[in-house]
Each structure stands twice: as structure tokens, then as C-alpha cells.
A and B are shown apart, each in its own frame.
Chain A
């Protein structure tokens, strides 16, 4: 009897030892796997960004040599961009101001129109409000780039060619449906009784909107505002088509101009690209947590 028990104990001990070893091997493998994968992700993500920095640090005239590390780091190109020291960059600050102007207006108008529509449909229960929401959904069907040609024609008819406002109008029109969705979804989480009690206290609809609705919507406003700003900053096609004069164009269009010629100063181009990329990256990381919150709350509609 006792020998059998001892044998059984030995077998089970060997079994557990084996299981432990298998577990340890598997844990090492998984550790190695995650390390390799992390490394791959870092390289994958940073390679194009590294390339931007590398090219921007090249001293002038040295761009066509193939090397992987910057041999001499020269900040000449950044200085050139900031002081508008190259004829490609004569209007850099003007163009940068155009981009900011456009981004600010797109953000503001998207927020204003989005909240007003969502407020009047969701809170005041206007009749046939669902029609508007469905119409807004329909704009998703046709991609913005497909409307570029008729839009271009129409803007020429309106006399808005080479005018920043034509781009602002287009971008607002395309950003509002998304804003409207997020606001409506988020607005559902605010009980309607809040509005009603305010109205009993004698508040006009406008007061309810300004004093109650907007403050309660603050997280959604931040999320959508960031979205609209990044949209304006990311957009290329409409700016490229509608803005062609040097003083009205925005930085993306100016950047694309570099690509038209083979003799372009690439280091200046990359320096411009980096400077242009800094504001959204900063804004993005400042609002990162709220952006993710906005993603989950608006469903995934954008």
C-alpha cells in the first residue's frame, strides 16, 4: 500500500515539475514575443518620423547622399523656415497663420452648428427632427473627395475661389454630421428633467442652451473640437484645389509645391513639415485622455 502511495506522489511531483517547466518556457516565449513585437512596433512607427528629422537636419546641398545617420546635424533648415529664408518659403508665416485661422474657424463653427442642431432636435423635440438626422447620415455615403469637382465649380460661381472661407465652408459641412452624432449620443446621458426644471424657473431656450446644456456637454465639446481641428489640419484636397495663390494657400498646399520640382530644397521641406506637425501633436497629447473618452462615448462613428 505504502509503496503505491509513494510512487503516486513521485509521479505527481514529476508531473507538476514538468508542468512548471512547460509554464516557464511558455512564459519566456511570450516575454520574448512581446519584446520582439514591441521593438517592431517602435521601428514601424518611428521610421517615417525619423526620416523627416534626418532629412531636415541635412546641410544644404548634401541631401542626395545615402546615409542612415545624420553626419552633421545642421539646424540651418529650421532657421531658414522660421526666418522665411528661402524663396519657397517666402510666405511661410502668412501660410501658417492661414492654417491656424482655418483650423480655428472650422472648430468653432462645427461646435456651434453641431450643438445648436443637437440641442434643437434632441432637447426641444422639433417635429421632423429625425429627417435632419437621417439627412446628416446620408452625407457619409458620398466621400468628400468625390464632391471636390462640383464644389470647385460652385465656389468659382460664388466667387470664393482663393478664399479661405470656401475651404472653411466645405470642411464645416463635412465635419458637422459627426459632431451632431456625438452630441446627440452624449446628450442622451443628460436627463431632460434638468432642462424642464430650468424652464419652470423661467429660463428661455437660449438660456437653457448657454447656461445648462453647454457646460454639461463640456467633455463632448473637447472631443469634437479636437476632432474638427485635426480634420482641418489633416485635410489636403480641398485646400489644394481651392487655394492657389501664394498668400492665400495653407501650409499643406505649400508643402505639396515642393514635390512639383526635382530641384526642391528637401531639407527645408521636411523642416516645414515638422513645424507644421508640432501643433496637432501637442494638442493631441494634451487632450489624449478626453479624446479616448470621446471615442467610446460617441460610439465609433468617426
Chain B
């Protein structure tokens, strides 16, 4: 099973993408260079902004007010919602003057909203925002679970020593959660590099394929342009980045066993 459905596709893919001429063709293609930049932006912002906000928000959900406790199940909703309907809804919200966002803008502020998918930066930005919306609850919950695992005495000791607010965060919580944070970030980076759904449904690569990331560009090459080998070469060119991340991740996982 494992051999037929994982090992064989990997080997087959590597074999298909092994011709060096493919990579020459890729580098000469301006779409490819733009997709690399898009992937870097998508992963860099999508992962790091998201993880940092999730870490902060997990602290917010530790507060003991009743409405904050009631808020948590609502906040989790994007994670429970399937990705496809959610991203379809994002697409529709931003689709232009009829979209909800632009309607809101003109109703509340009185300015006509931009055409989100006509501008490359806006379109890519919407992809990133949608991605953050979908996955931030998951990571917040993860950090929340980790924070509840920190013994109460440590907080009390920090309180006695006069560390509160930012200093408690910097000197107590972050060192304790640091390794977990690293593991999650690396893992999430691996996932995000391979993310296809977000870009393909939210901006659909619009305008004119300029917001394609590597994963969607590979599919475009393979199925719209009928050049499957080129498509595989496009995604496989990310391997030199993926493998070091995976090695780092394994290292971090080994030290993690002690904590938590």
C-alpha cells in the first residue's frame, strides 16, 4: 500500500523531473520566477504572522472572563468549517463591487472598494488573509493547550518576582513554549509550501496567473498547458528548501520529547 501509493509516485515524479533542460526552461519562464516570489511571500507572511498572532491570542483566551470562555468555541469555527466552502465564500466576498467587503466599505466609510483580484498585491494579500483565517484557530488551540500545561506555580513565582505583562511573556512563557513554537512553525511551513486549495479557490491565480504559488503553478503547467514534466519540475524545485526544514524539524522533535 505504502509502496504503491507513496513510494512509487515519489520515484516516478523524481524520474519525470530529472531532465536538466526542464529547469533551464523553468528559469527562463517569468511565471515561474513570480511564483517563487509569491510562494515566499505566502509562506513567510502566512506562517509567521499567523503563528505569532496565535501565540498572543492563546494568552488572551487564558483570561478568566466568562465571555472569553464563551468566545472560544465561536473562534474555533473556521477550523471546523471545511476549507472549500470557506474559501469559496472568501472569493465571493472579494469579487468586486457586489462583494460583501466592498459593499461594507461603501456603506460604512463611503469609499468604493478596490477590485481585489485585479491587483496582484491585493489578490495575494487576500489569499494570505484567508489562509490565516482558516488555520489560526488550530494553532491558537495548540498553544492554548500547551499554556494550560504550564504549572500554575510558575506563574505565581513570576508574579512574586514582579514579572508581569510583557516581561512575563518574554522571560517565562516564551522560553517554555519556544521549542513547541519552533516545531509548529517548521511543520506548518512544510504544509504551507504545499498548499494548493487557498490560492486556487480564493484568488484563482488571478490576475492572469500572477498570484500562482508553486503548487498551483505546477498544476497549471500539467493540466492546462499539458506539460506534466514541467509541472513536476516546478514543484520539485522546492525540494532543496523542504529537506533542510524537515531535518530541522526532526532535530527539534527529538529535543521536544522532554518538554510538555
- Residues B103 and A300 in contact, CB atoms below 8 Å apart: no
Specify which of B67, B71, B180 lies most central, judged by the most chain A CB atoms within 10 Å of its CB.
B71
Asked, given contacts A37-B60, A113-B1, A234-B84, whether A147 binds B100 with beta carbons under 8 Å apart, the answer is: no
- Residues A63 and B219 in contact, CB atoms below 8 Å apart: no
Q: How far is the CB of A254 from chain B (nearest CB, A)?
A: 10
Q: Is A295 an interface residue (CB 8 A)?
A: yes
Q: What is the bound-complex CA distance between A256 and B83, given in angstroms? A: 12
- Residues A273 and B63 in contact, CB atoms below 8 Å apart: no
**Interface SS of B by simple majority:** helix
Q: What is the bound-complex CA distance between A142 and B194, given in angstroms? A: 8
Specify which of B83, B133, B180 lies most central, judged by the most chain A CB atoms within 10 Å of its CB.
B83
Q: What is the bound-complex CA distance between A301 and B253, given in angstroms? A: 9
Interface-located stretch among B23-31, B91-99, B168-176: B91-99
* Pick from A50, A54, A149, A301: contact of B228, CB under 8 Å: A149
> Which partner residue on chain B sits nearest A273 by CB separation?
B85
Which chain B residues lie closer than 8 Å to A255 at the CB level?
84-85, 88
* Pick from B76, B77, B149, B215: contact of A145, CB under 8 Å: B215
Q: Is A268 an interface residue (CB 8 A)?
A: no
| Interface residues contributed by chain B, number (CB under 8 Å) | 86
Q: Is A46 an interface residue (CB 8 A)?
A: yes
Give the top 3 A-B pairs by smallest Cβ distance, nearest first: A143-B194, A273-B85, A284-B80
Q: List B residues at the A interface (Cβ < 8 Å).
A: 1-2, 5-6, 8-10, 12-13, 16, 57, 60, 63, 65, 67-68, 71, 73-86, 88-93, 97-98, 100, 102-104, 106-107, 133, 137, 141-142, 145-146, 149, 180, 183-184, 187, 190-191, 193-197, 200-201, 204, 215, 218-219, 222-223, 228, 231-232, 235-236, 238-239, 242-243, 246, 249-250, 253, 256, 260
Q: List A residues at the B interface (Cβ < 8 Å).
A: 34, 37-38, 41-42, 44-52, 54-55, 63-68, 113, 135, 137-154, 169-170, 172-173, 176, 230, 233-234, 236-237, 241, 251-252, 255-256, 258-259, 266, 269-270, 273-274, 276-277, 280-281, 284-285, 288, 292, 295-296, 299-301
